[in-house]
Structure 1
Amino acid sequence: MTENTPGPQDPQDAYWRPQEPAKQEAAQPESAPAQPAQPVGATQDMPAHEQPHWQPEAPAEPWTARPTGQEQVLFGSAVPGQGQPGVYVPPPTTQTYPTPPPPASPPRRAGGLVAGVAVLALLVGGGAGALGGYLVADRNTASAPSSLDVPKPASQAAANAPDGTVEAVANKLLPSVVQLRTQNGEGSGFVIRQDGLVVTNNHVIEQAADGGSLKVVYQDGQIADATVIGRDPTSDLAVVQSKGVSGKAPVVLGSSENLKVGQAVVAIGSPFELSGTVTSGIVSSLHRPTRAGGDNGSEATVMDAIQTDAAINPGNSGGPLVNMAGQVVGINSAIYSPGSSQRQQGGSVGIGFAIPIDQARRTADEIVKTGKATQTVLGVKVQTDQNGGAKVSEVSPGGAAQAAGIAAGDVVTKLDDRRIDTSDALVAAVRSKAPGDKVTLTIGNGTRTVTATLGGAPVPTN
């Protein structure tokens, strides 16, 4: 194979709640004595032998607290199976209540009184503390500041976003990014000329290349018909022309040559038909040999790709990858998506690939001027060597490789300063160059180098 085709809700009433005091007292017969209140947090379902019993009215004693009439009647406090809830029913057997202790001697009585007063004081103090705490909490709640009470801030000043921010890049690029629609799908692109000349991926418009429907949707809502000017399946690039369009803002093309790993970038496009979507990330790697396509009879593309973690999803294809100066440095083209298939597209996992703009610019310019593209070739068929490198299996007569003295069996391990460890790596490296460029090839373990002047070949589109 040549370097063009390298080898192989629950209801509220479902929960029990105590009756309101007013309703509970109304429901309780007047003849029924009040039940002493249980301490807060006491368990309601007590064993029968521990259930509190109603005490008969007795003369007031220091140790006897008179019912206040404010106690709540809780369901479950009556003897199970007798009477109505909250109504006292005498037990079937007579209960013997303890006889109050005889009056104590004055000293002892004084001590008991002091103790009773102390207990009463503690009870009153505890109740007052609880009530006071509730009142304080209620008052604090009412007076606590709320975000809803704060006046709405004044409208944000219409100042320009600071240079070098994602906001600034988005403001600059969005008017120039378009959505492309065909009968079978959609993708993205960007304007390179005011009359609606658009650059995109070949796989975005491929189905419209032979006269199929193709429409360009601009950020201002304008929809225009378009035709394919030319395309290059081997580099996955295409140029289309909108009809009846003028005054569109073209992008500024930057350079991919000076990109650095870790450099911030922004991706803009129409993922899943969500036009004008902006994501950001960094350059994760450079010169990543990436093979994409090759399904359903289409030609495989091998890219010398920019790898980025900016979210790229189906529909982003053809949209620009932009540096923080607002210059296009790549064309988003592919993603790595484990588990995806032909029937179910995957989404971003932080590994996306873009065609370097230097390569895309050269190809797009040629298409605009001639309607066709020329592919850079070395003139060999290669396969990955088991020890690493691209092993030459066939040399094309009269090609650049033959002129440089490369023979079948040679293993190319470097192109200039770039390491070559697979056949795709060599293909990607060669395609990143232009026809006529001179390159130095290292053969084997480095004991031999050759210089080759790369050639060019017309790109078939069918």
Structure 2
Amino acid sequence: MSEPQQGNGTPRSGVDDGAHRRLAPRPLHRPNVDPNQAAVFGRPAGVPGAFAERPPLNGHRGAGVQLSPPPPEALSTAFGRPRGTAELLQRPPLDVHGEPEVEPVFWEGKPAGDAWRDPGASAVIGPPAVTEEPAEKAEDVRSAPGPQLSVPELLFGRRVKPMGLALLMVAALLVGAAGGVVGWLLGKVDNPLTDGGVTLAEVQPGKERPVGSVSDIAKRVTPSVVSIEFKGANVAGVGSGVVIDGGGYILTNDHVVAPAVQDTSAKLTVVFTDGKRAIAQIVGRDPKTDLAVIKVQVDNPTVLQFGNSDELAVGDTVLAIGSPLSLSNTVTEGIVSALHRPVTAAGENGGPQITYDAIQTDAAINPGNSGGALVDSSGALVGINSSIRTETGGSVGLGFAISGNYARKISQALIRDGQVKHADMNVNVRSASAETAEGAQVQNVPEGGAAAAAGIQEADVITRVGDRTVRNAAELTVAVRNHEIGDTVPVVLARQGRELTLQVTLRSD
């Protein structure tokens, strides 16, 4: 290790301040340069510095230097130096005598070898940047634990007299004891529901009635189903009806209003679910399909909407609503047991035979349900309850309703015209069955009718009308009435062992 030196390079003692050693800079090492490398990478001959002097352009030094244009005269006047002076914008401060102040050198008086000012000074191994504090001082830094809060200060935020705190606790105990005594006395009062010898049955929360449930449908539909009372000198009874129009039109069965027509002293009275009563007038009747329309004067009635009965399927849930056995607002539930069931019944007092295409249901239907509503699971009207089949006189799960689509067609005609005309072939038939087929056998063919014009003969067995199979006489009537007057439909029949198809143009009955 070389000896320490002063800042000017002269050797000095090995200790600078008596505590730290100063290291002298390493000697400059200049290795020999290979002449071949110097010839390749060295400066060209005659070039003393790192960059060669720029050659003069056009024979004049600096002729190629592009200088900025002189500033505008307005800017030079505003911001330039006054004419005839060389003062700069930054001027040194002046003392009280007007002389420039000279900042003294802050290292003045220090040796020239100061390590902070002499770039050639050697490095110094100095003391550590952080020193350990004495143990006594470290202990003094620790703060002593502060005063702790008392219970009154913690609870009330300020000091409270002990006597006041004690009185507060005594008052709280007295209030609690008094409440306990009152509760005990009330519990001792004789109450059969709180008697220790009685076991109460558990009660579940109230039953929910979601949208679409039977209770929901009944709540929405029953206001549109009415009871129809007829009372006269010789007749009295109760049936049902359905409000189908806001003008007070009510659809019901013809056999419900027929007694009131036959007895001129009888009156028809409509009773709504809210107890309101109104006298009804007959708008129109159709005895052949057992449908009729009556009308009442009523404000803001609840009208039942028609559904599409053609979309029903066997097994669909249906509700029958009416007044069976004079019990108004009765709701029974069942399913669709069959569709397109031809139903026939004798006419009232020798009138024409009743025939209609029925929906069969096992919903309980009893006398008084006639004319009431058969609704589907959405609450739409899909049928008019009309009859039951029984051997005991009571409901045995064989109820029949006129299909809603056909009932709407008939009711519209009754409201518009007061009567209904049906399509007809004008032929008398009876039900026939054989080992290989069944159908409606022609008994006679009146002259001038649709059947005679198409060439239908006696003894022909009709098996199909349009797209509907005919298995008996009632089904032939229903199949024909499903078409309009003037329609030409294919009729398939059997004649002397051969199958024929005739085109029949239907006429009015």
Going from structure 1 to structure 2, the CA distance change for 1:156 and 1:390 (only over 3 Å counts) comes to: closer
CA distance in 2: counterparts of 1:379 and 1:332, whole angstroms? 29
SS of equivalent to 1:182: strand
Distance 1:446 1:365, change over 3 A: farther
- Matched with 1:207 is 259
1:308 correspondence with 2:361 = yes
Tell me the residue number matched to 1:166.
Answer: 214
From 248, 255, 258, the equivalent of 1:196 is 248
* Deviation readout 1:308-344 (Å, 9 max, x if unpaired): 10110000000011111111111100000113xxxxx
Residue 490 of structure 2, aligned match among 437, 440, 444: 440
Structure 1: runs of 5+ lacking an equivalent: 1-141, 340-345, 458-462
**Partner residue, 2:22:** none
Residue from 394, 403, 424 that aligns with 2:453:
403
How well do the aligned residues superpose, as a CA RMSD in angstroms? Answer: 2.2
Partner secondary structure for residue 217 of structure 2: helix
Which residue, out of 253, 258, 282, partners 1:228? Answer: 282
Cα distance in structure 2, aligned partners of 1:359 and 1:446:
34
TM-score computed with the length of structure 1 as normaliser? 0.62
The correspondence for 1:329, drawn from 373, 378, 382, is 382
CA distance in 2, matches of 1:433, 1:168: 37
Q: Which residue of 2 aligns with 1:450?
A: 502
1:53-132 maps to which residues of 2 (within 5 A)? none
3-state SS of the aligned residue for 1:163?
A: coil
The one-letter amino acid of 1:269's match is G
Q: Residue 228 of structure 2: SS of its match in structure 1?
A: strand
Cross-structure match for 1:297? 350
**2:424 counterpart of 1:372:** no
1:420 matched to 2:470? The reply is: yes
Any conservation in 2 of the 1:200–1:319 contact (CA below 8 Å)?
Answer: yes
1:178 paired with 2:232, answer: no
> Match for residue 10 of structure 1?
none
Whether the 8 Å CA contact 2:337–2:360 is kept in 1: the answer is yes
Cα deviation, residue 155, structure 1: 5.8
Structure-2 residue corresponding to 1:390: 440
Q: Which deviations, in whole Å up to 9, do the C-alpha atoms of 1:399-424 show, x marking residues without a partner?
A: 33233332222110122333222212
Q: What secondary structure, in the 3-state scheme, does the structure 1 residue paired with 2:414 have?
A: helix
Contact 1:304–1:431 (Cα < 8 Å) also in 2:
no
The structure having more radius of gyration, on CA atoms, is: 2
| Residue 279 to residue 386, structure 1, CA distance change in 2 (3 Å) | same
- Counterpart secondary structure, 1:447: strand
Q: Deviations over 1:361-416 (max 9, x none)?
A: 11111110111111221221111225231111222333332333322221101223
Using the alignment, how far apart are the partners of 2:477 and 2:498 within structure 1? 20
SS of corresponding position for 1:389: strand
Larger RCO of the pair (alpha carbons < 8 Å, separation 6+): 1
Q: How many angstroms apart in 1 are the aligned matches of 2:211 and 2:273? A: 22
User: What is the CA deviation profile of residues 97-121 of structure 1, one whole-angstrom value per residue up to 9, with x for unaligned ones?
Assistant: xxxxxxxxxxxxxxxxxxxxxxxxx
Contact residue 202 and residue 237 of structure 1 kept, 8 A: yes
Distance in 2, matches of 1:451 and 1:324, equals 41
The separation in 1 between residues aligned to 2:487 and 2:359, in whole angstroms, is: 21
Which one-letter code corresponds to 1:266 in the other structure?
A: L
Structure 1 counterpart of 2:273, from 214, 219, 229:
219
The 3 A distance-change label for structure 1 pair 446 and 190 is: farther
Contact 2:258 2:348 in 1 (8 A): no
> Unpaired runs of 5+ in structure 2?
1-194
Number of the residue aligned with 2:373: 320
Q: 1:146 to 1:440 in 2, by over 3 A?
A: farther
Q: Is the 8 A contact 1:163 1:325 kept in 2?
A: no
Q: 1:421 to 1:156 in 2, by over 3 A?
A: closer
2:36 is aligned to none
